[in-house]
Amino acid sequence: MATALITGSARGIGAAIALRLAKDGYNIALNDISEAMFEDNDIMDKIKAEGVECEKFICDVSSYAQVEETVKAVKARFGTIDVLVNNAGITRDGLMARMSDMVVAVNQKSVFNMSKFVGSVMMRQKSGKIINLASVAGLYGNPGQINYSATKAAIVGMTKTVAKELGSRGITCNAVAPGFIKTPMTDKLTDAQKQAMINQIAMKRYGEVDEIAGVVSFLASKDASYVTG
C-alpha cells in the first residue's frame, strides 16, 4: 500500500488532507512540531477508521537534521514514501522592521528540507508526487505579510524547479495556492481583517479545508500523472 507524508498535519488543512488521502487508500505519516499539537485531537482515530495504517512523527521541519532522521524513520516504518505534502506553515504578521526570520525558517526551509530527503527516496523508487502548499499571498503580496508572502512565492519557485529536476525520474511536483481558508490560523484574524479579505473573494465566503484536500487528492492521483510544475 502506498504511503503519504503530510507535514503540519495535526489540524487544519494538513489534517483534512491526511484524512482525504486515507480515504483514497494511502497509509498516512502524520507530522507536527510537538505532541501537544495532537492533544484533544482525533485525527489518528479518524484515519485508522478508514482501514489504513497511521503513525505520527514529531519533527521540527525547519531543522535539516531532524527532517533527515524523520524521513529515514518514515521510510523504515512504511517501506515507501509515495506522496509528500509540504503543508507546514506559520504566520507572524506585522511591520517588516519588527519581524524575525521565524516564518522564513518554518515555511521555506521546511519545503527544501523535506523535498531534498523525500525526493531522494522517490528518486530511488523512480516514482512519487510532491505537493506544496503555497498561497495567493505569494502570488499577489499582502500588506503586513512580507515574510509570509516571500516564503510562499519561494515555494512556487521551488515547485517549478523540482518539477524540472525530478520529472525524468517519474516524480511530479505541484503547488496549491489557497486563498482565505477557514482554519485555526485564520480564526486569529480580527473581524475587520476577515471581512476585508472576503470582500476581495469572488465567491464571497471562506474556503473550506476539505476543498483544498480535494485538490491535493487529485494531484496525488493517477489522473494527474502528466501535471507537474
DSSP lists the bridge partners of residue 57 as 31
Per-10-residue mean pLDDT of the chain, 229 residues long, equals: 97 96 98 94 96 98 97 98 93 59 83 98 98 90 80 95 98 95 76 83 91 98 98
* pLDDT of res. 100: 61
CA distance 128 to 173: 9
Element (H, E) at 174: strand 171-176
- Count Cβ neighbours within 10 Å for each residue of 201-229 and write b for 16 or more, e otherwise: eeeeebbebeebbebbbebbeeebeeebe
Q: How many CA atoms lie within 13 A of 53 on its CB side?
A: 12
Whether the model clears a pTM of 0.95, i.e. scores above it, the answer is no
Label the pairing between strands 83-86 and 27-32. Answer: unpaired
Question: Scanning the structure block, which residue is given the C-alpha cell 474556503?
Answer: 207
Active site residue 226: no
* pLDDT of res. 179: 87
Catalytic residue among 64, 140, 148, 206: 148
Cβ proximity of 17 and 213 under 8 Å? yes
* pLDDT of res. 93: 63
* pLDDT of res. 195: 86
